[in-house]
Structure 1
Amino acid sequence: MEGGGILSAAALFLLGTLQALHAQKNPFLEQIRNFPQEKIHVTTDRDAYIAGDTVWLRAHCVDAATLEPLTASRYVYVELRTTDNLLVRRIKILQRGGVYAGYLPLPATLAQDEYVLCAYTLYMRNLGGDYLFSKPLSVNPYRQPEKRRRRTAAGPFDVAFFPEGGYLIDGQPCRVGFKALGKDGLSRQVTGTVRDDRGRTVARFASRHAGMGSFEFTPRPGRRYTAECVQTSGGKARRFDLPEANDLTFVLRVEPNDTSFVVSVRSAKKWRPQGLKLLVHRCGTQCYYKEWNPQHASLTFLRDELPGGLYQILLLSPTGEAYSERLVFNRRDEEAEVTMRQEGTLQQRSKVTLHFEVRDTKRRPAQGDFTVAVTDRKAAAPVATAGIYSTLMLSSELRGVIEDPDWYFAPDNAQGDEGLDELLLTQGWRRYDVPKLLRNEYKEPYYPLEAGQEIAGRIERTAMFSKKKKLDRYTMRLLVPRSGYATSAPIAEDGAFALNGFDFPDSTTFVLRPTVRGRTITDARILITPDSFPEYRTLPRLRQPDPTYVAQARRYIEQRGTADMRNIVIDTVVVTAKPWDDDIDENAPEHRLAARSWNAEQIKEVSAGTILDFIEKMPGMQVMGRRVLYRGHKPAFMVDGRLEETVSMLNKTEDVVGESTNWGSGRMDKNDKRTIHYQPIPTV
């Protein structure tokens, strides 16, 4: 827009349909089509736990551009990590009815420390560790005395400086953001003074929140500048060099206020802008993209005519290269209003009904996906981690860790807007490589959308394996003894296989057997493709854990007696008797999962006439005609590694050691070498 003025919503924000965007050949639309992106927020019932407790959680997965709920990814991975990025435990949550909900049991042996809960989908790993969800959790032992490591605010620290738009310009007023961090990764509150190389003071500053702040000064040609910083809690002062000026570029200047933000350009006087373009987008939605001569006028964007969220403003060269960038957050009253009404009195073992009412910003009943966690205040510290609004609107769009992101959106915080703008001066946003988009160079995802479970790997020949036989004549069979499920997949010439098309809960045991014409191959080695884990570049830490929580939680457990958080360890029991079935391979999966296993010698000792007579003598078995039950449940039988789901499958004649044996009604041969395993299958 030439000649100044205020841009209207129609001229600024393109909220049309996808067809309208496509008609304009919007590169962001093409990128989203090639690589749609996800965000996740995880709600837990608490932020602090006792070792052996259970973390109950609910994950909300949304589209990164529209914040609409997504269920395209079948699973959400949730990990417990140390602050040093070591994996402690991992679970895989299956999406059921559009909901990702589950729990993560904490090992009772966890040492007192701070941990991090991380969550992502396989598809989100395409963006790297900076854009995966993470939140800090505090875990304390149940009986050990509390010995929390003390953190001292004083000590070594670093301060980084970030000129607005990327560079300082000589002779132009320049705003500089800064961020102070200690060696432990937590912020430090600092004050400082900026001096030139002649010792003249040009600016003073103090951090506002989480070690961040800003100041303004006008650099002079040929001068060098140094900042002397000291922590407000005391300690030695440290000096840091400010970035040098760059007079061969253009720099964006953004002046935000309550109703708008004004965009202008700073440059050296000898530079004359020609063919510059200004691009504004929000989470991949193009808002404004036109040629602009900043010498004629600045641009004003009205907040009321823009949706809330994080905006990236880019000043581009005629060839599409980025000269300068700036991030701006448009705050809108978009949060729903939630009210709760209690029905009943809070007394022990008494029924209490809670009624919730959710209304949107126009006071209309809201529709959406909601999570409610109810905990006992005596056993739960106040929530200190980020809420869903700050996660989806802010944290998920910025690199690095944001300390206390809810601080910026607190309704009673008069410094929230200034602090938020200083945060955006110091932490970058790179979800999209805009110059490449403008050249139609689109990023493609490496990890696919995970629509179902898959077990992949390959088989290798061993010394006993026939070298003459091709591997693609074999089939990989998969068994789930717990449910009686069986499937198979072909094996390729190089020994690779992939089994999919099934969904089972986390911690399900699968049995793999390579077979040929129904016969299990025992002289082959199966190599499963191992799971991979994302690398998190930085992980958040708790600022000030509640010092009274541990004592309150322990008293709560003592008052309640046995509780989920309490673990009772019995003395070690040593079994010295020789097992009667010691000739069965204890490492075989079917033996470990079976309720009971019988080998050929034990079958012979029973003196059963038929296989049904033998089954009837098994402990817990009931045989009624051809119907067999084990303690009221339908059992599954595994004979020499082959799953026999019903007795009727055993009712057949097979060759065993060269002789005929009728499993249904005939006599069992004395030379039968079969091993039978059985286990119950729960009724669904």
Structure 2
Amino acid sequence: MSKKLISFLFILLALGNFQAQDKAEKALEIFSEKYPQEKIHLVFNKNSFVAGENLWFKSFVFNGYELSAISTSLFVELYDSNKTQISKKILPLINGKGNGNLTLPDNLKEGIYYVRAYTTWMTNFSEDFQTLRPIVVYNPSSPQKLVINDNSQWTAAAFPESGTFIDGIATKFAVRLQSKGITPSEWSGYVVDMEKPEVKITSFKGFDQNVGAFSLTPTTGKKYQLIVTDSKGNKQTVNLPPVADSGIHLQVTSTNEAIKFSLQSKNIAPGTVYKVIAMINNQLVFKVKSGKILEQTYTIPANQLINGILQLTVFDDKENVLAHRLCFVQPDLLNIKKPTLQSLSLDPSPRASNSFTIAQNAENDGYTVLVLDGNSESSEDENSLLSTLWLTGDIRSKIYRPSQYFTPNRNSEAFDALLLTETWKRFDWKTLLSGTYPIISSQPQPYISYKGKVSIQGKPAANTAMNLLFSMPDKGTKLYQVKTDANGFFTLRGLIFEDSIKFSYQLNDPKIPKEQVQVIFQPDYSFVSLKGNLPGSHYTLVQRTNNDQPTDQVKRYVTTKNNQSSINEKATLIEEVKLQAVKKDKTKELNEKLSGPLFQSANETIFDFVNDNTNTAQGSMNILQWLQGRVAGLTLEMDMGNYVPKLRGSTVNIYLDEMKIDPSQVSTVSTADIAMVKVMKDYFLGGSGGGGGAIAIYTRRGGISGSANNADLPSKLKQITLNGFDKEVPFVSPIYGNDNFNSISQDVRTTLYWNSSLKTDPKEPAKIQFFNNDDAKSYKVIIMGFDDRDYAPVYYNEAVK
């Protein structure tokens, strides 16, 4: 359950006259606790591409309305319009965030392609909630070209509020447009009585290209029609639902102060008991059950809630769903942390240096920063981080430019009408009340995990110890021991490495010849085939003629692509010179020297006692006591006179020079002899079974202990290569002011700066520097992240000059 929702859940339940749980509440509680829902947002370095370019992306994986801690690996795939897979990647997720790139082959035909992203946990649920983003790829050499499909047919549908249309009750309707291409930007409609089609009862204009709204009080026996027309004269007629002579109607109003709702009825016996429950992110936040529910208006205080979609459902005394409604909490008061830009130094001169800083913020550990030529489009223009978090991550129907509902000039009335046309898609009440829940067939493994099987002369090596050895420059040969189970199997969990790594292996029993031993490794993860259909797009392909010329945008892309190899080569040379001139961070260098690949964690805190001149640990009798209070979540408990460390309430293992020791042995290690301590709060290979955290102590004695004596040993043993995460290609921009880049005759880059993981210092502002292209006069700056303390997105998307 969301940490923030817990804090006000009981307040709202009390306001809602909470009683004992009924079947619906029990089913919702089970679903919320056991089946959390992940959703993914992808932001690209630009909005469209040409064949042969690299596509860089940043991923944010959410569990409801906060960053997800469920998954640590992300699967990303590229498909063409025929659903043929072109490439695939597996990437690490650190605190719910990841980044990478996809290389678009030079021979890709011009067309619409699709980037798919999902986690192992997401494959247990509807494929509809996986991310499937269309991208435009141009190729002037292709026989066909893309054109916008603005002449396709559109359809209209009418949705009465709460799904009911009852005699004598004023009812709000939302009208939703859909199309395979682009829906009309200007359209309107009116309602008539079918017996008097020449008389307009009410009329309206569309809010945007998705939705419009009107209100109507119906009369039993009459039949109503909706006529919708666009600016080109296209027309569609829609029959409104039949008018019911009895029933329950739910009316909802959402403001910044409160969500107010009331039930209106016709021909309903007084005293009938009804129940209304409200939920956010599948979690119950309000409930009322009463025989007098039809007699009053109820208020849910919005300041006790978080931004998000609120679902209200009305049940009868047999828990049948009578009415439902979606609305958004505080639509005009979005909780967004907007970074502050400072020290702007912008020069529109060709190839000039530009810079700005982002004010320091102790609550943010980093940002994704994108700077575009001001005339360029961004992938955020269509579907932004905000619209994924608060809308499209849970509502999977086609919405034209969903980002518009979260911009400063948003139309909240249009957004409310849009939600009136939707139902909650994460589950359906009928299925939930029947006791049917998702079947969990795939559990997420920590980072990269492998299963292995050891055989001796073809027979499983049961309960056998095996040594894994690997050698690293300047580190000697590291040894890690695993033990098989009764069937000869073992697991390696929580590996964090890129590309590949080579292991040598031998059984711990020297009497068994290595020729008789066979070890088979198999990844404990898998890509999952795409079963559903690809979504439509706003484009269609037409035959290219001999006179067709590429657009200015495509010409810019081609020029940039042709320049990029030269830019990469020259920038790499400059970076190599920098690295030779600048000394490595001493703590980082110490960590690389002392700890082997098995003892690497994505979430580790390092205490350097070699280079830290203010080392206070030497005055402590026990290093564990010194660590307490310096590591968040670390506590100590006494057990038979020894300190036992715990993280998040769970006992963690202690390693001395990467060899596991008992807590009682820590007191025998003098703090004066300690070179470094690492507290790892995440999975790592060196832990037992992958581990969920550890304290690793490294001594000054012997430099690197835990190494095999014979450095040549691995070369004499059998070897196996394990594949890790896919490595990201670095994003490189020209650095003007350096003669190496004078050979670039034309600079027409649209992406001037891209940093998917800009690290920040809580005490210092973060500085961004980039160089202009040849013609940019303004810039589009996009900064994004997530504030874990306040559970709020960090977002900046503005044009600057």
| Greater fraction strand | 2
How far apart are residue 390 of structure 1 and its match? 1.9
Residues 172 and 510 (structure 1 numbering): CA distance in 2 closer, same or farther, change over 3 Å?
A: farther
Of 533, 557, 562, the residue aligned with 2:529 is: 533
How far apart are residue 291 of structure 1 and its match? 0.9
After TM superposition, the structure 1 stretch with the greater mean CA deviation from structure 2, 244-253 or 346-355, is: 346-355
| Percent identity (aligned) | 18
How far apart are residue 498 of structure 1 and its match? 7.8
User: 1:204 and 2:198 equivalent?
Assistant: no
Q: Which whole-Å deviations, capped at 9, do the CAs of 1:162-198 have from their partners, x for residues lacking one?
A: 2211232233222222222223486775433433442
After TM superposition, the structure 1 stretch with the greater mean CA deviation from structure 2, 254-263 or 386-395, is: 254-263
Of 280, 284, 287, the residue aligned with 2:285 is: 287
Distance in 1 between the 2:112 and 2:364 partners? 33
SS at 1:91 equivalent: strand
**Cross-structure match for 1:552:** 556
Distance in 1 between the 2:172 and 2:371 partners? 46
Letter in 1 for 2:138: N
**Cross-structure match for 1:574:** none
Residues 106 and 169 (structure 1 numbering): CA distance in 2 closer, same or farther, change over 3 Å?
A: same
**Cross-structure match for 1:150:** 147
Distance in 2 between the 1:166 and 1:677 partners? 61
- Determine if contact 2:37/2:122 at 8 Å carries over to the other structure: yes
**Cross-structure match for 2:784:** none
Letter in 2 for 1:209: D
Residues 333 and 380 (structure 1 numbering): CA distance in 2 closer, same or farther, change over 3 Å?
A: closer
**Cross-structure match for 2:493:** 501
SS at 2:405 equivalent: helix
Aligned pairs (5 A) from 1:554-633: 554-557=558-561, 562-563=566-567
Letter in 2 for 1:211: N
Q: Which whole-Å deviations, capped at 9, do the CAs of 1:542-598 have from their partners, x for residues lacking one?
A: 689x96432333344567783569xxxxxxxxxxxxxxxxxxxxxxxxxxxxxxxxx
- Determine if contact 1:408/1:420 at 8 Å carries over to the other structure: yes
Give the unaligned 5+ runs of structure 1: 1-8, 359-364, 460-465, 566-644, 653-674, 679-684
**Cross-structure match for 2:396:** 399
Residues 373 and 48 (structure 1 numbering): CA distance in 2 closer, same or farther, change over 3 Å?
A: farther
Residues 145 and 215 (structure 1 numbering): CA distance in 2 closer, same or farther, change over 3 Å?
A: same
After TM superposition, the structure 1 stretch with the greater mean CA deviation from structure 2, 145-154 or 425-434, is: 145-154
**Cross-structure match for 1:568:** none
- Determine if contact 2:445/2:524 at 8 Å carries over to the other structure: no
SS at 2:414 equivalent: helix
Letter in 1 for 2:528: S
Residues 55 and 154 (structure 1 numbering): CA distance in 2 closer, same or farther, change over 3 Å?
A: closer
How far apart are residue 428 of structure 1 and its match? 2.0
How far apart are residue 311 of structure 1 and its match? 0.5
Of 158, 164, 167, the residue aligned with 2:164 is: 167
How far apart are residue 396 of structure 1 and its match? 1.3
Distance in 2 between the 1:283 and 1:563 partners? 46
Distance in 2 between the 1:123 and 1:61 partners? 12
Distance in 1 between the 2:720 and 2:66 partners? 49
Of 171, 177, 183, the residue aligned with 2:174 is: 177
Letter in 1 for 2:277: L
**Cross-structure match for 1:336:** 337
Distance in 1 between the 2:92 and 2:118 partners? 13
How far apart are residue 338 of structure 1 and its match? 1.7
- Determine if contact 2:62/2:96 at 8 Å carries over to the other structure: no
Letter in 2 for 1:431: R
- Determine if contact 2:161/2:172 at 8 Å carries over to the other structure: yes
Aligned pairs (5 A) from 1:267-666: 267-270=265-268, 272=270, 274-292=272-290, 293-330=292-329, 331=331, 332-342=333-343, 353-357=355-359, 365=361, 367-375=363-371, 377=373, 381-383=377-379, 384-413=381-410, 416-434=411-429, 443=438, 445-454=440-449, 500-501=492-493, 503=495, 508=500, 518-519=514-515, 531-535=527-531, 539=535, 541=537, 548-557=552-561, 562-563=566-567, 647-648=712-713
SS at 1:386 equivalent: coil
Distance in 2 between the 1:70 and 1:10 partners? 17
Letter in 2 for 1:371: Y
**Cross-structure match for 1:628:** none
Q: Which whole-Å deviations, capped at 9, do the CAs of 1:211-249 have from their partners, x for residues lacking one?
A: 3112222333233333333333344x3333333344564
- Determine if contact 1:85/1:536 at 8 Å carries over to the other structure: no
**Cross-structure match for 2:752:** none
How far apart are residue 429 of structure 1 and its match? 1.4
Greater relative contact order (Cα < 8 A, sep 6+): 2
- Determine if contact 2:72/2:445 at 8 Å carries over to the other structure: yes
**Cross-structure match for 2:33:** 33
SS at 1:177 equivalent: strand
After TM superposition, the structure 1 stretch with the greater mean CA deviation from structure 2, 530-539 or 315-324, is: 530-539
Residues 204 and 497 (structure 1 numbering): CA distance in 2 closer, same or farther, change over 3 Å?
A: farther
Residues 70 and 270 (structure 1 numbering): CA distance in 2 closer, same or farther, change over 3 Å?
A: closer
**Cross-structure match for 2:47:** 47
- Determine if contact 1:159/1:240 at 8 Å carries over to the other structure: yes
How far apart are residue 411 of structure 1 and its match? 1.6
**Cross-structure match for 2:619:** none
**Cross-structure match for 2:232:** 233
Q: CA RMSD in A?
A: 5.1
SS at 1:445 equivalent: coil
**TM-score normalised by structure 2 residue count:** 0.57
Residues 38 and 278 (structure 1 numbering): CA distance in 2 closer, same or farther, change over 3 Å?
A: same
Distance in 2 between the 1:71 and 1:527 partners? 22
How far apart are residue 81 of structure 1 and its match? 3.3
Q: Which whole-Å deviations, capped at 9, do the CAs of 1:380-404 have from their partners, x for residues lacking one?
A: 5445232222211222121323221
Residues 59 and 650 (structure 1 numbering): CA distance in 2 closer, same or farther, change over 3 Å?
A: closer
Aligned pairs (5 A) from 1:77-226: 77-82=75-80, 85-96=83-94, 99-141=97-139, 143-144=140-141, 148-184=145-181, 190-200=187-197, 201-226=200-225
Residues 228 and 473 (structure 1 numbering): CA distance in 2 closer, same or farther, change over 3 Å?
A: same
- Determine if contact 1:129/1:537 at 8 Å carries over to the other structure: no
| Bigger radius of gyration | 1
**Cross-structure match for 1:587:** none
How far apart are residue 295 of structure 1 and its match? 2.7
How far apart are residue 369 of structure 1 and its match? 5.0
How far apart are residue 472 of structure 1 and its match? 8.4
**TM-score normalised by structure 1 residue count:** 0.66
Distance in 1 between the 2:186 and 2:119 partners? 36
How far apart are residue 407 of structure 1 and its match? 0.9
Q: Which whole-Å deviations, capped at 9, do the CAs of 1:613-660 have from their partners, x for residues lacking one?
A: xxxxxxxxxxxxxxxxxxxxxxxxxxxxxxxx96446779xxxxxxxx
Q: Which whole-Å deviations, capped at 9, do the CAs of 1:337-374 have from their partners, x for residues lacking one?
A: 2222346665778765531027xxxxxx5613543334
**Cross-structure match for 2:699:** none
Letter in 2 for 1:56: W
How far apart are residue 422 of structure 1 and its match? 1.1
After TM superposition, the structure 1 stretch with the greater mean CA deviation from structure 2, 480-489 or 264-273, is: 480-489
Residues 10 and 90 (structure 1 numbering): CA distance in 2 closer, same or farther, change over 3 Å?
A: closer
Distance in 2 between the 1:211 and 1:508 partners? 48
Residues 480 and 56 (structure 1 numbering): CA distance in 2 closer, same or farther, change over 3 Å?
A: farther
Give the unaligned 5+ runs of structure 2: 541-549, 570-709, 722-801
Residues 489 and 189 (structure 1 numbering): CA distance in 2 closer, same or farther, change over 3 Å?
A: farther
- Determine if contact 1:276/1:291 at 8 Å carries over to the other structure: yes
- Determine if contact 2:254/2:328 at 8 Å carries over to the other structure: no
